[in-house]
Structure 1
Amino acid sequence: MRTRGAVGLVVWIFTVVMLGGTVPAPLYPFYVRSLDLSELQVTIVFAAYAVGTLTALLLGGGVSDRLGRRPVLVLAVGIAVLSTLVFLLAPTLPGLLFARVLSGLSVGLTTGTATAAIAELHPDRRTATTLATVANMGGLGLGPVVSGLVAQHLPGPTVGPYLAFLVLLLPVLAIGLVPETRPRTESLAGAMRPQRLSVPRATRARFAAAAVGGFAAFAVLGLFTSLTSSFLGQELGDPGPQLVGFSVAVMFAAAVACQLLVQRWDPDRAALVGAALLPTGTALVVVALAVGSLPLFLLSAVVGGAGVGFSFQSAVSRVGGLASADERAAVTSSFFVVAYLGITVPVVGVGEIATATSLTTAAIALAVLVVVLSAAAALLTRRHPTPVRG
């Protein structure tokens, strides 16, 4: 297979696996009705995805460096298929939790492996980075759109979207034609070992600046992804999966656009813009919930998504420059562990508050947290700027 075709196939697999991570987002109202789920249970199901991703980072970080890119991509797709089968065959609360963990595991294995494969296959590093960025966040944004459209217009709203996902995975059958860019050096048993987490002492302050920003960005991302269906259901009664999917995708679209824009910016400047946009977006969520305005809620998704794009891409860029090649995997894994904790702990807390009080109260609590975190990230970025490379 020629280079262009190989890159295209890896980008497709990357995009579709990420898409699978957000397929359930527009379907939560159906699960709420059929399983009588509370807001807390919905957010726990959502957060189970991050548990799987963290497991992949901690146990499978760097595994494709030792096993090769193709075997790990095949493994990740196989886990994605298994996750889908659990969604289809066990539509219960335990089934949803297990399926979401598997989905997160698949996404976690795919992210690092596909990003590395694209960089190794494509001759231009900047283009490879752009393709990986679009596949990553773009796939997450496409998931709710595809799922919502299928659920809205075809029978079996909690079946059709998963079948569509399986169809989209079919091109993976050609993975054997993709050149292997990292030959196997170890057996599977030897390659699957815990990823070391560490940050060099001299760079810990700059790491903290990036990690706090990443944590805040993922907390905002989790808020929108997990509770959009609840807001729309509260305000519109039965908005339909198509509208829910579109509303979730708006945030990811804004995040992708800003991730592409920020690649040409100074990372510290981008971090400060993100630190301003994240609390603005959450403040708009609070107002939208209080007045019951869908246009204002969509605006908050755009602003919050822009904040996620600026903050996350800037953080990844800064973290990548904090360590030598030998330490980079440990430092990057440490950052992603902090970031994915942002999509679990605060989001579950929001679900618990929403169950005990109201969505508006829960949003206010998260907004206060995001303000504090964003202020801390901005202060740390100012005090510990990224060195200018001469």
Structure 2
Amino acid sequence: MSRLTGGRAFTVIVLAFLVTMIGTTLPTPMYGLYQQRLGFSLTTITIVFATYAFGVLAALLLFGRWSDALGRRPLLVAGLTTSLASDLVFLVADATWVLLVARAVSGVSAGIYVGTATAAVIESAPERWRSRAPLVATAANIGGLGLGPVIAAVLVEAFPWPVHLTFVVHAVAAALVLLLLTQVAETVDVVPGARPSLQRPRVPAAARTTFIGAGIAGFAGFAVCGLFTAVSPRFVGEAVDQPHAVVSVSVVFALFAASVIAQVVLHRISSDIGATLGCALLAVGMLLFTVSLATQSLWLMLVAAVVAGAGQGISFSKGLAAVLVRVQPHERAGTTSAFFVVAYVAISVPVIGSGIASDRWGLDPTGIAFSIGAAVLAVLALVTLLVDQRRTA
């Protein structure tokens, strides 16, 4: 079979990116079912979720630069194969430790794809799609995260085998895309004898103040993403009596959908303006979410998720862009790596803390405290970025 090139290769790589990221959030509507079956606490739910972030971090640091030496296709195949492997582990998950393994494996697949697939999408884009390729990569990445809970919720509610069928469907989709992916032409020239190396996070002195502001915003935004993905179905359950599975994941879907749409619609605004606007929206969104928890209002939760999601998407993408314009080309990989380390630490550690606090003081009080904390961090990031912009003007 001849290698897939041009538009067909581009489509397959985008599909592989989408399918892999969908797989990482499929368990969201099932955490409650696992809790009933295995009898663990809310703290355990957050630890199971956060294990994914540790897998992402490990993959980013270990494999972040491997595709530069080995080529994009081998890493894309490895990442999707790892995603398929996580489905198989979920299918036999009959104990908490098995769920932890499944989530870690899923995190490794995402960690491989975050950098490699983004580069491959841009490199494989046909000429007419070249200028829009970064947005397509963003849509596949964040859009996949948002679609995962919805697809799983539909399958859980409408069909039998609620904690198994979803992973069977995803495994079949991953296997089909994997077959196509093996036929995609390589998008970079591989140097014979090149050896893969570790990705070392580094922040040059010239960009440190900007990095601090953008990093605080990224930390707050990703912490919000982590909280919503891990326990937002529980927040919805507090506001609505026995909600439909799709309703239970509506808040997390609204967050990720708003993140994608905001990044696409506002991609032409400058990095500095975008970063500050994103921080402001994130702060407002989390204050609205605080009110929604206090009043147990689902519609206000959805509004808050849209505003916070837009803020998260803009502050992250434009914040990273604002940092990268202040560093030399050869420093960008290490700086990007450092930024993602901050982001994925935010997805894990605060969420585990919220789980421990929820078991002690209750879900809604903890959610309110978490939301206020995220809003304060977003305001702090906003002030830091404004000071830095004025200093460098």
Regarding TM over 0.5, the answer is yes
Q: Deviations over 1:212-271 (max 9, x none)?
A: 111111011112111112112333343232222333211111111111123111122122
User: For 2:122, which of 115, 119, 123 is the aligned residue?
Assistant: 119
User: For 1:317, which of 313, 318, 321 is the aligned residue?
Assistant: 321
Q: Distance in 1 between matches of 2:9 and 2:390?
A: 35
Within 5 Å, which residues of 2 pair with 1:32-71? 32-71=35-74
Q: CA deviation at 1:103?
A: 0.6
The worse-fitting range, judged by mean Cα deviation, of 3-12 and 360-369 is: 360-369
Letter in 2 for 1:179: A
Letter in 2 for 1:128: A
Letter in 2 for 1:54: L
Q: Distance in 2 between matches of 1:279 and 1:383?
A: 18
Q: Distance in 2 between matches of 1:343 and 1:386?
A: 31
TM-score (norm 2): 0.94
Q: Distance in 2 between matches of 1:388 and 1:212?
A: 19
Q: Distance in 2 between matches of 1:388 and 1:4?
A: 42
The aligned residue for residue 73 of structure 1 is 76
Letter in 2 for 1:150: L
Q: Distance in 1 between matches of 2:137 and 2:116?
A: 11
Within 5 Å, which residues of 2 pair with 1:256-295? 256-295=260-299
Q: Deviations over 1:23-69 (max 9, x none)?
A: 00111111111112222111111111110110011111111111111
The aligned residue for residue 137 of structure 1 is 142
Within 5 Å, which residues of 2 pair with 1:99-110? 99-110=102-113
Within 5 Å, which residues of 2 pair with 1:190-339? 190-191=195-196, 193-339=197-343
Q: Deviations over 1:73-119 (max 9, x none)?
A: 11101111111111111232111111111111101101211111111
Letter in 1 for 2:137: A
The aligned residue for residue 82 of structure 1 is 85
Letter in 1 for 2:171: L
Report if aligned partners of 1:76, 1:109 keep a CA contact under 8 Å in 2: yes
Q: Distance in 2 between matches of 1:104 and 1:28?
A: 17
Is residue 2:179 matched to residue 1:173? yes
Measured on the aligned residues, the alpha-carbon RMSD in Å equals 1.9
The worse-fitting range, judged by mean Cα deviation, of 3-12 and 170-179 is: 170-179
Letter in 1 for 2:145: L
Letter in 2 for 1:22: T
The worse-fitting range, judged by mean Cα deviation, of 89-98 and 235-244 is: 235-244
User: For 1:154, which of 159, 173, 185 is the aligned residue?
Assistant: 159
Letter in 1 for 2:366: A
Letter in 2 for 1:96: L
Q: CA deviation at 1:316?
A: 2.4
User: For 2:382, which of 374, 378, 385 is the aligned residue?
Assistant: 378
TM-score (norm 1): 0.94
Q: Deviations over 1:173-203 (max 9, x none)?
A: 0123211022444779x42x43111111122
Report if aligned partners of 2:16, 2:181 keep a CA contact under 8 Å in 1: no
Q: Distance in 1 between matches of 2:31 and 2:87?
A: 15
User: For 1:23, which of 26, 39, 43 is the aligned residue?
Assistant: 26
Identify unmatched segments of 5+ residues in structure 2: none
Q: CA deviation at 1:377?
A: 1.0
Q: Deviations over 1:254-308 (max 9, x none)?
A: 1111111231111221222221222222222222222221111112211111111
The worse-fitting range, judged by mean Cα deviation, of 52-61 and 170-179 is: 170-179
Relative to 1, partners in 2 of residues 1:54 and 1:386: Cα closer, same or farther, differing over 3 Å?
farther
Identify unmatched segments of 5+ residues in structure 1: none
Q: Deviations over 1:162-181 (max 9, x none)?
A: 11111221122012321102
Q: Distance in 2 between matches of 1:214 and 1:374?
A: 9
Report if aligned partners of 2:93, 2:99 keep a CA contact under 8 Å in 1: yes
The worse-fitting range, judged by mean Cα deviation, of 280-289 and 304-313 is: 280-289
User: For 2:362, which of 358, 361, 372 is the aligned residue?
Assistant: 358
Q: CA deviation at 1:372?
A: 2.5
Report if aligned partners of 2:142, 2:260 keep a CA contact under 8 Å in 1: yes
Secondary structure in structure 1 of the residue aligned to 2:228: helix
The worse-fitting range, judged by mean Cα deviation, of 99-108 and 162-171 is: 162-171
